[in-house]
């Protein structure tokens, strides 16, 4: 049973990933994209969780741990950039 659910979950996650990426491409502004990057980090965390279940290796969780702790820094960096007057939209 768990395998089937795993596969279904993976499918769902994949759709989520694709959808997120589409929004990343669509933007339209920098903050939108940054939000999508954030979401991708969260998706990765979830993905890693699923994968560690699937593989039975808890060592992969360390990756998620690091992601959870540090991925938001990129967002903070972008935010700082925006507040300092960087362009938020240079298409």
Partner 1 sequence: MGTLMAFLVGGLYAAAIYMIMRRSIVKLVIGLVLLSNAANLLIFTSAGMTREAPPLIPLGALQPDGVVADPLAQALILTAIVIGFGVLAFAVVLIHRAYEVVKADDMDQMKDTDT
Partner 2 sequence: MLLAVLSGFLFACIAPVVHGARPLAKSYYGAGWVLAMLPAVLFLWFASHLRSVGLNGEVILNSWTWIPSLGISLSFRLDGLSLLFALLISGIGFFIIAYAGRYLEGHKDQARLYVLLLSFMASMLGLVLSDNLISLFVFWELTSITSYLLVGFSHEDKPSRLSARQGLFVTMGGGLALLAGFVMLGMAGGSYELSELLSQRELLHDHALYAPMLILIVIGAFSKSAQFPFHFWLPNAMAAPTPVSAYLHSATMVKAGVYLLARLNPGLGGTELWTMILGLVGAFTMFIGVFLAVRSTGIKKVLAYSTVMALGTLTMLIGIGTPTAITAAMAFLLAHSLYKGALFLVAGIIGHSTGSKDFMHTGGFRSAMPVTALFAGVAALSLGGIIPLFGFVAKELMLEAVLDAPLFSAVLSTLAVASAILGVTVAAIVGIRPWYGRLAETKVTPHEAPPAMLAGPVVLASLSLVLGLSAPLVQQWLLGSAITAVHGAPVEKNLSLWHGFNLPLLISAVSLVAGLLLFAVWRGFRRATRFTDLLAKVGPEQWYERAMVAITHVSAWQTRMLQTGYLRYYLMIVLGSMVALVLSQMWTYRDSINLLIDVSDLRFYEVVVAGVLGAAVLMAAITSSRLSAVAALGAIGFTVALLYLLFSAPDLSITQVLVETLTVILLVLVLFRLPGFIKLSPTHLRLRDAGLAVIVGATMTLLLLSVNGTQYFDSISSYFIAESAPSAYGRNIVNVILVDFRTLDTLGEIFVLALAATGVLAMIRFRAEDKDL
Partner 3 sequence: MTTDYVTFGLELATAFFMLVGALFMLLAGLGALRMPDLLMRMHATTKAGALGSGVIMVAVALHFGEAGVTTRAVAITLFVMLTSPVAAHVIARAGYFTGTPMWSRIVRDELKGKYDRDNHTLDSPPRYKPKATAETSEAPAANTDTDKKEP
Residues found near partner 2 in the complex (CB under 8 A): 10-11, 13-14, 17-18, 21, 24-25, 27, 30, 33-34, 36-37, 40-41, 44, 47-48, 51, 59-60, 62-63, 66-67, 70-71, 73-74, 77-78, 80-81, 84-91
Among 23, 33, 54, 88, binds partner 1 (CB under 8 A): 54
Contact 66, 53 (CB under 8 A): no
Integer-rounded Cα Rg, in Å, for the chain is 16
End-to-end CA distance of the chain: 48
> HSE-up of 30 (CA within 13 Å, CB side)?
17
Helix 61-70, helix 30-55: angle, nearest 10? 160
Under rule CB under 8 A, residue 83 binds partner 3: yes
**Residue 82 dihedral angles phi and psi, to the nearest 5°:** -65, -45
Catalog residues that contact partner 3 under the rule CB under 8 A. 1-2, 5-6, 8-10, 12-13, 15-20, 22-23, 26, 29, 31-32, 34-36, 38-39, 42-43, 45-46, 49-50, 52-53, 58, 61-62, 64-65, 68-69, 71-72, 75-76, 78-80, 82-83, 85, 87-89
């Amino acid at each position: 049973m768990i395998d089937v659910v795993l596969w279904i979950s993976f499918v769902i996650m994949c759709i989520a990933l694709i959808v997120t990426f589409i929004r990343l491409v669509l933007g339209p502004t920098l903050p939108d994209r940054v939000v999508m990057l954030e979401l991708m980090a969260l998706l990765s965390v979830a993905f890693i969780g699923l994968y560690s279940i699937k593989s039975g290796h808890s060592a992969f969780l360390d990756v998620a741990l690091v992601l959870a702790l540090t991925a938001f820094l990129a967002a903070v960096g972008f935010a700082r950039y925006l507040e300092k007057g960087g362009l938020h939209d240079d298409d």
